[in-house]
Amino acid sequence: MQLPQKDANTLGSDHRRPKIEQVHTMSKPETRIQQRNRAAILSAGLDIFSQFGLRGSTLDQIADAAGLSKPNLLYYFKSKDAIYTALLERLLETWLDPLQKMDANGDPIKEILGYVHRKLAMSKDYPRESRLFANEILQGAPHIADHLSQDLRQLVDEKAVVLKTWEAAGKIAPIDPHHLVFSIWAMTQHYADFDVQVRAVLGDKDPFEDAMAYLDTLFRRMLTPPNS
């Protein structure tokens, strides 16, 4: 019933300041038990939420997957929503990273392909996070609508300018930069979000190696300027 999922593969290993949801005195250092249990809960929540979404997941499912009793789970997070939003926040912290790293001063095609590569690696290494995000978007992004129209939009617009600069300098063939970004998101995240379908079509052979090769040629052919 549950997808096999090597655990511990979790974004943001959490060496960070105490979170606000901390139940007790706030800002006291976490005990080892707290660390272990919070991590277990977040990982379990990621498993469940990424499959069933916020509404479709239950505390019992999550508690079960985390190996804790339901009241004990609620000792660490004050509600189902709190687990969900903690996961979303942690995800958003790193979600934009790969795009941010695209360097206006680097070699254009190399930079774009580097982005594609990082994004596909995220689909491979953090598929649950990708599916959690997909689920949130499918539901209309109620928890992150602001983030999308603020931070995300700004970042994309910024990078679109860079892409247009590269285009103007003749370094890449003419393209619509926004839709270029969408196509990178779509194709890379597809291998995480639609993993079941990809594997059903391909048989269970790991798709990521071939996917990377395919995406590499795709973007090279599309982006290499005509006169070269």
Q: Which stretches of the chain bind a second copy, using CB under 8 A?
A: 3, 50-57, 131, 134-135, 137-141, 145, 148-149, 152-153, 156-157, 173, 175-176, 178-183, 185-187, 189-191, 193-194, 196-198, 200-202, 207, 210-211, 213-215, 217-218, 221-222
> Residue 7 CB, nearest distance to DNA (Å)?
18
* Residue 69 is a binding residue for DNA (CB under 7 A): yes
Output the 3-class SS for 73-106.
HHHHCCCHHHHHHHHHHHHHHHHCHHHHCCCCCC
Which entry of a second copy, DNA, none binds 75, CB below 5 to 8 A by partner kind? DNA
Q: Rounded distance, CA 35 to CA 198, Å?
A: 36
SS (H, E, C) 172-220: CCCCCHHHHHHHHHHHHHHHHHCHHHHHHHHCCCCCHHHHHHHHHHHHH
Choosing among DNA, a second copy, none, which partner's interface includes residue 70 (Cβ < 5 to 8 Å by kind)? DNA
Alpha-carbon separation of residue 48 from 14, 44, 56, 80, 162 (angstroms): 20, 6, 9, 12, 38
**Nearest distance from C-beta of residue 82 to a second copy, angstroms:** 18
Number of residues lying near DNA (CB under 7 A): 23
Contacts 24+ apart (CB under 8 A), 61-67: 65/2, 66/37, 66/40, 66/41, 67/40
Under the criterion CB under 7 A, does residue 211 sit at the interface with DNA?
A: no
Tokens standing for residue 8: 């511990």
Interactions with DNA, residue window 2-41 (CB under 7 A) = 24-25, 28, 31-34, 37
- Which CB atom, from 72 or from 197, has the smaller least distance to a second copy? 197
Residue 187, C-beta contacts closer than 8 angstroms, at least 6 positions apart: 215, 218
Q: Minimum distance between the CB of residue 33 and a second copy, rounded to whole angstroms?
A: 32
| Site for DNA contains 176 (CB under 7 A) | no
210 touches, from DNA, a second copy, none (C-beta below 5 to 8 Å by class): a second copy
| Closer residue to a second copy, CB minimum distance, 107 or 209 | 209
Residue 31 near which of a second copy, DNA, none (CB within 5-8 Å, type-dependent): DNA
Q: CB-wise, 27 or 227, nearer to DNA?
A: 27
- For the chain, what is the total number of helices (H) and then of strands (E)? 12, 0
For 113-129, b where at least 16 C-beta lie within 10 A, e where not — what string?
A: bbbbeebbebbbebbbb
- Interacting residue ranges for DNA, rule: CB under 7 A: 24-25, 28, 31-34, 37, 57-60, 68-72, 74-75, 78-81
